Amino acid sequence: MSGRGPFWIHPGDTSLSFPDTSLALREPDGLLAIGGDLAPERLLAAYRKGIFPWYGNDQPILWWSPDPRTVLFPGRLKISRSLRKRLRQGRFRVTLDRAFDQVIRACAEPRPGSSGTWITREMSEAYCRLHQRGYAHSVECWHDDRLVGGLYGVALGAVFFGESMFSRETDASKVAFAHLVRQLGAWNFALIDCQVYSPHLATLGAERIPRSDFVRQLDLFCDAGSAPGTWKADPALADNPW
């Protein structure tokens, strides 16, 4: 295979193969392939190679691998003074894998200033299937019994691939993310994929690394760590002050 993408993946293709990420377009940054499906096996094959789907309701499935890649190493989480204060207040109760369907629906809701969402019904159903198989996970942030924030993503070995987060109260998604990173650190996760840079993620410690370095990290860590399954928070962490 020569030249740059995007490359076409036939819907009936069963090989689960993807072009090398070095062949992705520079503009739009990271577009690598078009087509295929969102079967669990294809999604897992994509993540393992540093590729993720992102497309709108009126588009075919688009597969991306941007360069550089935004990541967060669990030991480099930054907690601002205001966020630390919020964490110590104990206003929110944080759980894992308690309400995956609710979290992905909340993430799919249109954001202020936007009339649409990239989390289509097809995408939601695909990640719910991954959740049922123990690969996709959610972090929920509750105020009393109301879901006010959270996030979801995919775990492979010692790598967590973050997909989306939402917040209905100030700092709720940041609290969920801080709890996630601390828990992943306790489980010896090596890397959190944040996909695309944003100032919000940078304030939490996310950084940009070359795509080639990111892919090498995946080769090292996607087969390490724990097996798929439902996540349960480590109760010992609840006694550790922020």
Q: Scanning the structure block, which residue is given the tokens 């724990």?
A: 226
For residues 41 and 80, membership in a common domain is answered with no
Q: Scanning the structure block, which residue is given the tokens 């480099």?
A: 76
Mean pLDDT, residues 196-210 taken together:
94
13-22, 96-105, 114-123, 166-175: least confidently modelled range: 114-123
Both tokens assigned to 163: 């997909």
Contact 192, 184 (CB under 8 A): yes
CATH number of the domain bearing residue 76? 3.40.630.70
Has residue 42 been placed in a domain? yes
Has residue 201 been placed in a domain? yes
Confidence of residue 53 (pLDDT cuts 50, 70, 90): very high
Encoded amino acid at 16, one letter: L
For residues 59 and 105, membership in a common domain is answered with no
Give the model's pLDDT for residue 65: 98
Euclidean distance between CA atoms 53 and 47, whole angstroms: 9
Give the model's pLDDT for residue 1: 46
In Å, the largest CA–CA distance within the chain is 56
For residues 89 and 61, membership in a common domain is answered with no
Predicted TM-score of the model (pTM): 0.95
Give the model's pLDDT for residue 240: 81
For the chain, the average pLDDT equals 94
Euclidean distance between CA atoms 197 and 30, whole angstroms: 13
| 116 to 29, 34, 56, 58, 111: CA distances (angstroms) | 21, 21, 8, 11, 8
Mean pLDDT, residues 128-136 taken together:
98
Mean pLDDT, residues 221-234 taken together:
92
Has residue 110 been placed in a domain? yes
The contacts of residue 131 (CB under 8 Å, 6+ apart) are 97, 100, 137, 138, 152
Handedness of CA 67, 42, 180, 235 (dihedral sign): negative
Has residue 2 been placed in a domain? no
- Please give the residue range of the domain that contains residue 91: 70-239
The tally of domains found in the chain comes to 2
Has residue 1 been placed in a domain? no
Give the model's pLDDT for residue 41: 97
Q: Is the pLDDT of residue 122 over 80?
A: yes
Q: Is the pLDDT of residue 191 over 60?
A: yes
For residues 102 and 33, membership in a common domain is answered with no
Q: Scanning the structure block, which residue is given the tokens 């159903």?
A: 125
CATH number of the domain bearing residue 42? 3.30.70.3550
| 82 to 98, 144, 212: CA distances (angstroms) | 27, 21, 35
Q: Is the pLDDT of residue 3 over 80?
A: no
Confidence of residue 167 (pLDDT cuts 50, 70, 90): very high
Give the model's pLDDT for residue 111: 75
For residues 59 and 174, membership in a common domain is answered with no
For residues 34 and 83, membership in a common domain is answered with no
